[in-house]
Amino acid sequence: MFVIPIYIEAGITCFESPATQYKELGLTLDELLIKHPDATFIGLASGQSMQGVGIFDGDLLIVDRAVDVNTGDIVVATYNGCFVCKIIHKEKRLLMSASDDYAPVYISPENGFCLEGVVTRSIRLHKPCVEFTHRDKKFV
């Protein structure tokens, strides 16, 4: 893949395309976005509870299992059998949403909780590029 190192404004101008003479950086998206390839997976965000930190329904989440988890990190975890994406507070044992519409959830020893990894990047899809079905829900 060729990466074109240009800054693009949303406005329209009458200048020639900056891609007419570009410099190849020789990097792939994997190299730019993923630090630990063997410990990284990609998930699909669902819901509105993390919009306060810029994660919207349908965004791709790059989740790294090799990153140390700190309070304030956005994590993906299983909680009582469901995948969740939340902000973690390690000392208080809380999973918090980025919206005041959702109360923090306390992680008790009785809960089925497993930390899956830290969200290191999120990618907004302005036009869906994949279509798949999961648990009778179709994602486009």
More confidently predicted of 34 and 13: 34
Residue 86 is among the residues annotated as catalytic for this protein? yes
- CB contact at 8 A, 87 and 98: yes
Residue 127 is among the residues annotated as catalytic for this protein? no
| Predicted confidence (pLDDT) per residue in 30-69, tens digit | 888 999 999 999 999 999 999 999 999 989 999 999 999 9
- pLDDT over 90 (residue 101): yes
36-125 in CATH: which number?
A: 2.10.109.10
Catalytic residue among 17, 35, 49, 92: 49
| Predicted confidence (pLDDT) per residue in 64-85, tens digit | 999 999 999 999 999 998 999 9
The DSSP output letter for 58 is T
Percent of the chain with pLDDT over 90: 61
Percent of the chain with pLDDT over 70: 73
Least confident of 17-21, 25-29, 33-37, 72-76: 17-21
Does the pTM surpass 0.85? The reply is no
Residue 58 φ then ψ, to 5°: 95, -5
DSSP H or E run through 96: strand 94-96
Catalytic residue among 17, 86, 122, 127: 86
Q: What is the largest CA-CA distance in the chain?
A: 63
Alpha carbon distance 29, 68 (integer Å)? 23
